[in-house]
Structure 1
Amino acid sequence: MAKDLARLDQELSQVKRELHLLLVEKQEKGNKQRKNRSVKKANSVLSTTTTATEDYNSASGYDSSDLEFYDVSDEELDGPDANSTNGFGLNNLDNLLKEIDIKLDSESITQLEDSLHKLEDLQVDYPENTDVLWRLGKAHHKISETSDDKEFIQNHISKGIEALDKALELKKDDAQIHKWYAVLVGSRSEYVSLQERIDDGHKFKKHVDAAIALSPDDASLHYMLGRFDFEVAGLKWYERKVAAALFSEPPNATYTDALQHFIQAEKLANFEWKENKLMIAKCKIATGDYKEAMDWLTQASNCKQGDGLDDKIDSEVKVLMEKYNSYR
Structure 2
Amino acid sequence: MFTNLVQRFMHSPLPRLVIRRNPRASINTTPGAKAHVYGKFTLLEKGIVLSSLSFLAITAFRRRRQHAVVHASIKAEDLKEQADYLHENGDTEKLYAFLSQYKESEDAEILWRIARAWRDMAQLSTVTPAEKKRMIYESREFAKKALEKDELCWAAHKWYGVCLSDVGDYEGIKVKIGNAYIIKDHFQRAIELNPKDATTIHLIGLWYYMFADMPWYQKKIASTLFAALPPATFEEALVYFQMAEAADPNFYSKNLLYLGKSYLKLKNNELGLFWISKAKDYPARSEEDQQVHKEASDILKSMGR
TM-score bracket, normalised by the shorter chain, equals: 0.7 to 0.9
Q: Would the aligned equivalents of 2:279 and 2:292 in 1 still touch at CA under 8 Å?
A: no
Partner of residue 52, structure 1: 9
Residue 173 of structure 1 aligns to a residue in which SS?
A: coil
Q: Say which is worse superposed, 87-96 or 133-142, in terms of deviation.
A: 87-96
Considering fraction of residues, name the structure with more helix.
Answer: 2
Deviation at 1:299, TM superposition (A): 1.3
Q: Does 1:104 align with 2:87?
A: yes
In structure 2, C-alpha distance between the alignment counterparts of 1:234 and 1:158, rounded to whole Å: 26
Partner of residue 65, structure 2: 77
Residue 103 of structure 2 aligns to a residue in which SS?
A: helix
Count of equivalent residues: 268
CA displacement 1:149-198 (0-9 Å, x = unmatched) = 43232221111111111122222111010011111122334333110110
In structure 2, C-alpha distance between the alignment counterparts of 1:76 and 1:288, rounded to whole Å: 67
* Corresponding residue to 1:294 among 273, 288, 292: 273
* Corresponding residue to 1:140 among 105, 118, 122: 118
Q: 1:291 to 1:259 in 2, by over 3 A?
A: same
CA displacement 1:221-258 (0-9 Å, x = unmatched) = 11000100000101223322322322345422101100
In structure 2, C-alpha distance between the alignment counterparts of 1:73 and 1:153, rounded to whole Å: 44
Q: Does 1:238 align with 2:226?
A: no
Q: Would the aligned equivalents of 2:280 and 2:292 in 1 still touch at CA under 8 Å?
A: no
Q: Say which is worse superposed, 238-247 or 178-187, in terms of deviation.
A: 238-247
Deviation at 1:54, TM superposition (A): 7.9
In structure 1, C-alpha distance between the alignment counterparts of 2:242 and 2:250, rounded to whole Å: 14
Q: Which has the larger radius of gyration?
A: 2
Q: Would the aligned equivalents of 2:250 and 2:256 in 1 still touch at CA under 8 Å?
A: no
Partner of residue 197, structure 1: 176
Q: Would the aligned equivalents of 2:157 and 2:190 in 1 still touch at CA under 8 Å?
A: yes
Q: Would the aligned equivalents of 1:272 and 1:303 in 2 still touch at CA under 8 Å?
A: no
Runs of 4+ in 1 over 6 A off after TM superposition: 54-57, 66-69, 72-75
Task: Please report the TM-score for the alignment, with normalisation by the length of structure 1.
Answer: 0.72
Partner of residue 221, structure 1: 200
Q: Would the aligned equivalents of 2:204 and 2:240 in 1 still touch at CA under 8 Å?
A: yes
Task: Please report the TM-score for the alignment, with normalisation by the length of structure 2.
Answer: 0.77
In structure 1, C-alpha distance between the alignment counterparts of 2:11 and 2:168, rounded to whole Å: 69
Identity across matched positions, percent: 20
* Corresponding residue to 2:98 among 115, 118, 127: 118
